[in-house]
C-alpha cells in the first residue's frame, strides 16, 4: 500500500458519502462554500492580510452575491469600502482615456483596455479558490481510500456516484494519486459506479414522464417525484468551483 502523500480527509468524506446524495462531492462543496462565506464575513475581515487579498482578488459574481445575501452588513461594508477604493484606483487611467479619447481607433483601444481591466478584476475569486483547495484534498482522499480501504470501496460501489463534473475531476486526478496503472484501475471502477447510477436516474426520470400520462395517473411514483431535479444534480452538479485563482495560470 502506498503511503498517502497528503493528510487524508477521512471523516468529512465518509460523512458526506453516508448522506446518500446524487453527488457527495457536491455536498462537500456546499459545506466548503458556506465556510468561505462565513470566513470572509467573520472576524477575518479585520485581518489586514485578508483585506489585502480581498482587494487584490475579490469574489466572482456568484460569491459576491452570496456574501450580499448573508445579511452581515458591517463585514460586507468593510470589504466593499476598500475593494471599491482599489477598483477606482485600478480603473482610473481607463476611465480617463474613455473621457478624453477621440472617436475611432483610440476610443476602441480605450474600450478594449476597460474590458480587460474588468475581466481581470473579476478573476480569481477567493471563495472559489478556498473551495478548490478543499476539493483537491477530497479528490485525493476518495481516490486513495477507494484503492486501499476495502470498506470505503464497498460503500462507494453502493453509492449514488457523482455529478458528471466531479466524476470528471476524479478521472483527471486518478493517475496523479495512484500512478498510471492503479489510476487506470480506479477509472474503470468509478466509471462502472457512475454508469450504473446514470442508468438508475434515467429510469427514474423516464417513469416521471410516464406518470403524467392519464393511464398512469393512479400508479405509484416509486420515489420518482423529484427525478427531474436529481437528473439536473447528476448532469450539472449542485455546487462547484467556478473561478479559482489556479485556473488563471
- Tell me which residues touch Zn ion (CB under 5 A): 23, 25-26, 60, 63, 125, 127-128, 163, 166, 237
DSSP three-state, residue 244: coil
C-alpha cell at 112: 478594449
What are the distances in angstroms from CA 29 to CA 53, 127, 209, 214, 247? 22, 11, 31, 40, 18
C-alpha cell at 36: 468561505
Q: Cβ 113 to Zn ion, closest distance in Å?
A: 25
Output 63 or 72, the one with its CB closest to Zn ion.
Answer: 63
What are the distances in angstroms from CA 240 to CA 150, 175, 225? 28, 22, 25
Q: How far apart are CA 243 and CA 218, in angstroms?
A: 47
Q: Cβ 89 to Zn ion, closest distance in Å?
A: 23
Question: Which string of DSSP letters, residue by residue, matches 1-53?
Answer: -PPPSS---HHHHHHHHHT--S-HHHHHHHHHHHHHHHHHHTGGGG-HHHHHH
Q: Cβ 1 to Zn ion, closest distance in Å?
A: 28
Output 17 or 23, the one with its CB closest to Zn ion.
Answer: 23
Give the distance, in angstroms, between the CA of residue 36 and the centroid of all CA atoms in the same chain. Answer: 12
Q: How far apart are CA 70 and CA 48, in angstroms?
A: 22
Output 110 or 127, the one with its CB closest to Zn ion.
Answer: 127
Q: Cβ 68 to Zn ion, closest distance in Å?
A: 13
Output 216 or 247, the one with its CB closest to Zn ion.
Answer: 247
Output 26 or 205, the one with its CB closest to Zn ion.
Answer: 26
Q: Cβ 247 to Zn ion, closest distance in Å?
A: 11
Q: Cβ 115 to Zn ion, closest distance in Å?
A: 21
Q: Cβ 195 to Zn ion, closest distance in Å?
A: 16
Output 64 or 110, the one with its CB closest to Zn ion.
Answer: 64
Output 60 or 190, the one with its CB closest to Zn ion.
Answer: 60
Phi-psi region of 161 (alpha: psi -120 to 50; beta: other; left: phi over 0): left
Q: How far apart are CA 214 and CA 141, in angstroms?
A: 48
Task: Give the residue from 130, 145, 127 showing the smallest Cα distance to 16.
Answer: 145
Amino acid at each position: 500500500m502506498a503511503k498517502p502523500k497528503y493528510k487524508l480527509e477521512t471523516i468529512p468524506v465518509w460523512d458526506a458519502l453516508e448522506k446518500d446524495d446524487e453527488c457527495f462531492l457536491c455536498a462537500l462543496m456546499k459545506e466548503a462554500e458556506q465556510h468561505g462565506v462565513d470566513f470572509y464575513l467573520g472576524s477575518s475581515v479585520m485581518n489586514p492580510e485578508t483585506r489585502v487579498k480581498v482587494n487584490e482578488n475579490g469574489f466572482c459574481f456568484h460569491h459576491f452575491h452570496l456574501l450580499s445575501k448573508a445579511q452581515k452588513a458591517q463585514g460586507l461594508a468593510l470589504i466593499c469600502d476598500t475593494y471599491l477604493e482599489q477598483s477606482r484606483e485600478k480603473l482610473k487611467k481607463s476611465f480617463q482615456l474613455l473621457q478624453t479619447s477621440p472617436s475611432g481607433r483610440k476610443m476602441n483601444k480605450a474600450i478594449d483596455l476597460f474590458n480587460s481591466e474588468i475581466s481581470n478584476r473579476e478573476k480569481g475569486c477567493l471563495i472559489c479558490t478556498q473551495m478548490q483547495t478543499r476539493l483537491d484534498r477530497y479528490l485525493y482522499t476518495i481516490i486513495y481510500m477507494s484503492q486501499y480501504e476495502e470498506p470505503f470501496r464497498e460503500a462507494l460501489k453502493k453509492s449514488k456516484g457523482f455529478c458528471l463534473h466531479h466524476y470528471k475531476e476524479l478521472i483527471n486526478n486518478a493517475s496523479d494519486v495512484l500512478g498510471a496503472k492503479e489510476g487506470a484501475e480506479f477509472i474503470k471502477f468509478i466509471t462502472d459506479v457512475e454508469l450504473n447510477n446514470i442508468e438508475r436516474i434515467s429510469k427514474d426520470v423516464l417513469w416521471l414522464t410516464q406518470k403524467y400520462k392519464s393511464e398512469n395517473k393512479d400508479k405509484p411514483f416509486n420515489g420518482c417525484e423529484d427525478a427531474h431535479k436529481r437528473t439536473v444534480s447528476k448532469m450539472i452538479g449542485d455546487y462547484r468551483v467556478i473561478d479559482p485563482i489556479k485556473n488563471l495560470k
